[in-house]
C-alpha cells in the first residue's frame, strides 16, 4: 500500500443507504474521522448530495455512488471506480435496508424476497466484494446495521426479522473467517431510532423503552464509528445493541 494515514492504509469508506437517517450520520462521522466517504443511494439524490455538501463544507471529502444494492453488477462497477480514484474500500457500512410489513398469512413472496434480498443478500455481496482488497491490505472494518427485531419478535415483520437475524449470523461467521488478517466484522442492532424509516411506527412503544425516548441517528453512528476505528481492532464478531435498554 501507499502512505499510511492515522496508522491505517490509504483507502476510503463506503456507506450504503447514506442519503438520510443513520447512513447520513455515519457518513458525516467517518468524514470527521478523516476518511474519504462514498455515499451510496438508490433514489434520494437530493438527500445524498446534501450530505456530501455538509461533509465538504466541514472540510471533508465525499463522493456519490448511485445504485440499488441489489444490483450486483452496478455495485461492482462502483467498487472498481472507487478503488481507482480513492484506493480500496477499507470501511464498509452495510446500512441500506427496507421494510415491507405484514402478518405472515398475508405476507407475499414479493415482499419476502425484496426485504431479504435488500437487507441480507445484498449485504453479503457487498461484503464479499470488499473483503479481498481488505485482506490484501491486512486492514478492514465491516459494520452491518442489523436491528433488535432480529433476535426479538415483532409481529408483522417476519421478513424483516429474518433478514436482520441472518445479518447477525453472517456477521459472526465472516468475522471468524477473516480475523487473522486484521479485518473485523461487527454489527449494531438499533432499537427505535428517530428516522423516516420508523416515523410510521406506534408512538406508544416509547413507553416500553427504559430510556423513555427514541434514539438518534448520531447515537447509532457513534457506535459504528468506534467499530470502524483502529481502536476497535480486538472487537470482532459481536453485535452492539443500541436500544435504550429495550432488550435488557
Report the percentage of the chain scoring pLDDT > 90: 87
The span from the CA of 22 to the CA of 195, in Å, is: 8
Assess if residue 110 is contained within a domain: yes
187 assigned to some structural domain: yes
225 contacts: CB under 8 Å, gap ≥ 6: 26, 29, 30, 33
* Between 231 and 202, residue with greater pLDDT: 231
Please report whether residue 106 resides in a domain.
Answer: yes
Whether 160 is a known active-site residue: answer yes
Structural domain including 169 reads 8-242
CATH number at residue 141: 3.40.50.720
The neighbour count for residue 137, using CB atoms within 10 Å, is: 20
* Residue 153's pLDDT band (cuts 50, 70, 90): confident
pTM value is 0.93
2 belongs to a structural domain: no
User: Does 248 map to a domain?
Assistant: no
Mean pLDDT of 141-146: 98
pLDDT tens digit sequence for 184-194: 999 999 999 99
The per-residue pLDDT for 197 is 60
Confirm whether 50 is domain-assigned. Answer: yes
Number of domains composing the chain: 1
> Which of 41, 139, 160, 234 is the catalytic position?
160
Strands 140-145 and 183-190 turn out to be parallel
Confidence of residue 199 (pLDDT cuts 50, 70, 90): low
Helix (H/G/I), strand (E/B), else coil: 66: strand
The Cα diameter of the chain in Å comes to 56
Q: Mean of the pLDDT values across residues 165-179?
A: 98
Q: Is residue 45 part of a domain?
A: yes
- Set of cell numbers at residue 46: 437530493
Mean pLDDT for the chain? 93
Amino acid at each position: 500500500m501507499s502512505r499510511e494515514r492515522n496508522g491505517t492504509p490509504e483507502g476510503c469508506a463506503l456507506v450504503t443507504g447514506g442519503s438520510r437517517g443513520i447512513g447520513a450520520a455515519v457518513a458525516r462521522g467517518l468524514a470527521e474521522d478523516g476518511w474519504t466517504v462514498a455515499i451510496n443511494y438508490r433514489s434520494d439524490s437530493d438527500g445524498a448530495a446534501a450530505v456530501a455538501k455538509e461533509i465538504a463544507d466541514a472540510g471533508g471529502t465525499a463522493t456519490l455512488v448511485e445504485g440499488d444494492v441489489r444490483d450486483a453488477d452496478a455495485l461492482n462497477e462502483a467498487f472498481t471506480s472507487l478503488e481507482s480514484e480513492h484506493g480500496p474500500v477499507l470501511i464498509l457500512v452495510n446500512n441500506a435496508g427496507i421494510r415491507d410489513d405484514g402478518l405472515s398469512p398475508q405476507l407475499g413472496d414479493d415482499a419476502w424476497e425484496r426485504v431479504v434480498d435488500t437487507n441480507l443478500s445484498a449485504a453479503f455481496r457487498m461484503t464479499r466484494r470488499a473483503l479481498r482488497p481488505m485482506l490484501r491490505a491486512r486492514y478492514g472494518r465491516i459494520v452491518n446495521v442489523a436491528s433488535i427485531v432480529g433476535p426479538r419478535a415483532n409481529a408483522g415483520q417476519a421478513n424483516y426479522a429474518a433478514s436482520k437475524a441472518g445479518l447477525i449470523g453472517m456477521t459472526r461467521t465472516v468475522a471468524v473467517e477473516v480475523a487473522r488478517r486484521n479485518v473485523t466484522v461487527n454489527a449494531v442492532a438499533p432499537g427505535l431510532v428517530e428516522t423516516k424509516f420508523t416515523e410510521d411506527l406506534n408512538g406508544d412503544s416509547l413507553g416500553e423503552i427504559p430510556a423513555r425516548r427514541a434514539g438518534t441517528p448520531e447515537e447509532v453512528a457513534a457506535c459504528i464509528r468506534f467499530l470502524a476505528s483502529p481502536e476497535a481492532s480486538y472487537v470482532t464478531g459481536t453485535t452492539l445493541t443500541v436500544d435504550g435498554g429495550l432488550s435488557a
